[in-house]
């Protein structure tokens, strides 16, 4: 069996790393592979190292680990590099957001039309983009044959930047298209009988093809809307695939937005908490409201504590339901969430992340249909330039990534009113990063409907630059 070296950068993101380790254990064709866990945070690194080792022992897989805080050491000899690091963590993002709110930018200056995902920095993303390029250039230098699986956000900006600025093999990874399966489940139809495609940009994908038993399945969605939409309620802040916002976007654009796309609509859905509640449901008003994001941060903290408990207590087995029952009680979590743990507990079940299936397809020629972010070469989406990364269904095998023909094409409104403006934001973010020209950041805010004066623009940028951790970013912008 061909064994490979997989480097996970930012491996301290424990829940994500565990999913990859579990998937690798369940992929017999990659037996004997080495995972290099890399993180700058030694404590997090030790915790994930112990936990991953424990997991493999319980699952009975044949996976080896190394851990390091040295980027170069991890990338050296790697066949695949997965970048999931978040420079500065959620703390920096919250600080930037707070500075933005102080000057009248509700949910922060990164919160823009078609870019409402709160953990998705585009304009205060200097460190993230710089790190993406550092990693990519290091791969180019010391492991030029390795694939980079770009997972940290912003995936759209980051993958486009790397593909333009380096010659390495890169693809952006996200699981947002799973929203399609939520729709299929809600309609009560068998996924085996559904032929679907999504296309667009990361966090900006649309259900262009939706066929059930060779017939258009959109009428089934219409029926669901008629019968169920008015009584729809979210189960958590991220449950928005069939929210009023999604249905409203579908009505306007002529195709259903899928996954995080629903969070990335226009200001119509986001002016304030009240508006958000109307479109994304009570009580949270979606993931990107102050309430939804607080819920998310709280969950992240609990998950981190659960992981720390399991890592430190030899009596707590990762593969035992009892462990989760006990810990869910300890942290007062709803029982329904236990189903989320079932992927970890079920020794046969893959996590749904696309990374290990991708690696298996490349290494062992086991063909896989995935949805990946790749350069639009060959005009996969014909209205989009070829040097912009698009998120599309592909087949992956030993010879690489083969995009499907997008058929039927995206609606005119999706392309012109949604993808074009989103693409301009990406170009502005990259241009600002590459040139260090503060005027671009200003221009972005001048075009923001929350801006009432140019003084407000200058004040908010100065405030963000004045935060102590932003000193390097400030210098980059010649301030």
Evaluate whether 208 touches 268 at the Cβ level (below 8 Å). Answer: no
Residue 54 makes CB contacts below 8 A (sequence gap 6+) with 310, 311, 318
Shortest CB 180 distance to ligand NAD, Å? 15
When binding is defined by CB under 6 A, the residue of 7, 112, 125, 151 that contacts ligand NAD is 151
Q: What is the dihedral of CA 63, 68, 71, 74, to 10 degrees?
A: -30
Q: Which stretch binds ligand NAD (CB under 6 A): 145-153, 211-219, 267-275, 394-402?
A: 145-153
When binding is defined by CB under 6 A, the residue of 6, 8, 9, 183 that contacts ligand NAD is 9
User: Would residue 175 show up in a list of annotated catalytic residues for this protein?
Assistant: yes
Q: Which residue, 136 or 221, has its beta carbon nearer to ligand NAD?
A: 136
236 binds ligand NAD (CB under 6 A): no
Shortest CB 131 distance to ligand NAD, Å? 6
When binding is defined by CB under 6 A, the residue of 23, 39, 95, 113 that contacts ligand NAD is 39
40 binds ligand NAD (CB under 6 A): yes
Tokens of 15: 């829940």
12 binds ligand NAD (CB under 6 A): yes
Strands 257-258 and 204-212: antiparallel
User: Would residue 260 show up in a list of annotated catalytic residues for this protein?
Assistant: yes
Strands 204-212 and 215-216: antiparallel
Q: Which residue, 84 or 208, has its beta carbon nearer to ligand NAD?
A: 84
Q: Which stretch binds ligand NAD (CB under 6 A): 81-89, 243-251, 414-422, 436-444?
A: 81-89
Q: Report residue 395: phi and psi, to 5°.
A: -105, 135
Q: Which residue, 163 or 457, has its beta carbon nearer to ligand NAD?
A: 163
Shortest CB 125 distance to ligand NAD, Å? 10
Per annotation, catalytic residue among 175, 248, 309, 437: 175
d(CA 230, CA 37): 47
173 binds ligand NAD (CB under 6 A): yes
d(CA 190, CA 310): 37
Residue 308 makes CB contacts below 8 A (sequence gap 6+) with 47
Per annotation, catalytic residue among 23, 79, 260, 448: 260
Evaluate whether 365 touches 397 at the Cβ level (below 8 Å). Answer: yes
Q: CA angle at residue 293 from 270 to 129, to 5 degrees?
A: 90
Q: Which residue, 247 or 372, has its beta carbon nearer to ligand NAD?
A: 372
CA-to-CA separations, 441 to 87, 195, 450, in angstroms, rounded: 20, 42, 15
List residues binding ligand NAD (CB under 6 A). Answer: 9-10, 12-13, 16, 38-41, 44, 84-87, 89-90, 119, 131, 151-153, 155, 173-175
Q: Which residues are marked as active site? A: 175, 260
């Amino acid at each position: 069996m061909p064994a490979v070296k997989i480097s996970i950068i930012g491996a301290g993101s424990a829940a994500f790393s565990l999913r990859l380790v579990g998937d690798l254990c369940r992929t017999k064709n990659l037996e004997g592979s080495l995972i290099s866990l890399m993180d700058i945070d030694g404590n997090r690194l030790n915790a994930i190292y112990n936990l991953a080792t424990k997991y493999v022992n319980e699952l009975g897989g044949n996976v080896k680990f190394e851990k390091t805080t040295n980027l170069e050491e991890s990338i050296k000899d790697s066949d695949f590099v997965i970048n999931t690091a978040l420079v500065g963590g959620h703390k920096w993002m919250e600080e930037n957001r707070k500075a933005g709110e102080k000057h009248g930018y509700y949910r922060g200056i990164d919160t823009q039309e078609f870019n409402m995902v709160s953990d998705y920095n585009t304009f205060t993303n200097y460190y993230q983009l710089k790190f993406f390029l550092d990693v990519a250039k290091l791969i180019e230098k010391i492991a030029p044959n390795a694939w980079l699986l770009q997972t940290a956000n912003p995936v759209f900006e980051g993958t486009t930047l790397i593909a333009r600025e380096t010659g390495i093999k890169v693809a952006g990874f996200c699981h947002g298209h799973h929203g399609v399966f939520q729709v299929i489940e809600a309609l009560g139809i068998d996924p085996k009988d559904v032929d679907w495609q999504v296309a667009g940009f990361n966090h900006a994908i649309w259900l262009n093809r939706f066929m059930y038993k060779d017939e258009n399945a959109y009428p089934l969605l219409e029926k669901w809307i008629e019968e169920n939409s008015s009584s729809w309620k979210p189960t958590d802040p991220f449950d928005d695939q069939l929210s009023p916002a999604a249905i409203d976007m579908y009505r306007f654009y002529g195709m259903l937005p899928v996954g995080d796309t629903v969070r990335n609509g226009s200001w119509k859905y986001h002016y304030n908490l009240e508006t958000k509640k109307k479109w994304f449901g009570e009580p949270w008003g979606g993931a990107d409201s102050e309430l939804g994001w607080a819920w998310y941060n709280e969950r992240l903290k609990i998950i981190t504590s659960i992981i720390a408990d399991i890592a430190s207590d030899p009596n707590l087995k990762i593969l035992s339901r009892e462990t989760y029952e006990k810990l869910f009680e300890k942290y007062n979590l709803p029982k329904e969430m236990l189903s989320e743990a079932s992927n970890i507990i079920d020794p046969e079940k893959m996590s749904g992340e696309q990374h290990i299936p991708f690696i298996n397809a490349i290494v062992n020629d086991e063909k896989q249909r995935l949805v990946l972010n790749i350069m639009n070469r060959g005009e996969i989406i014909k209205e989009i330039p070829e040097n912009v990364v698009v998120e599309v269904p592909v087949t992956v095998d030993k010879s690489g990534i083969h995009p499907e023909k997008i058929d039927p094409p995206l609606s005119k409104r999706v392309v012109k009113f949604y993808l074009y403006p989103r693409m301009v934001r990406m170009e502005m973010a990259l241009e600002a990063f590459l040139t260090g020209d503060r005027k671009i950041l200003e221009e972005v805010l001048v075009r923001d409907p929350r801006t009432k004066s140019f003084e407000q623009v200058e004040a908010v940028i100065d405030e963000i630059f004045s935060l102590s951790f932003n000193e390097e970013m400030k210098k980059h912008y010649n301030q």
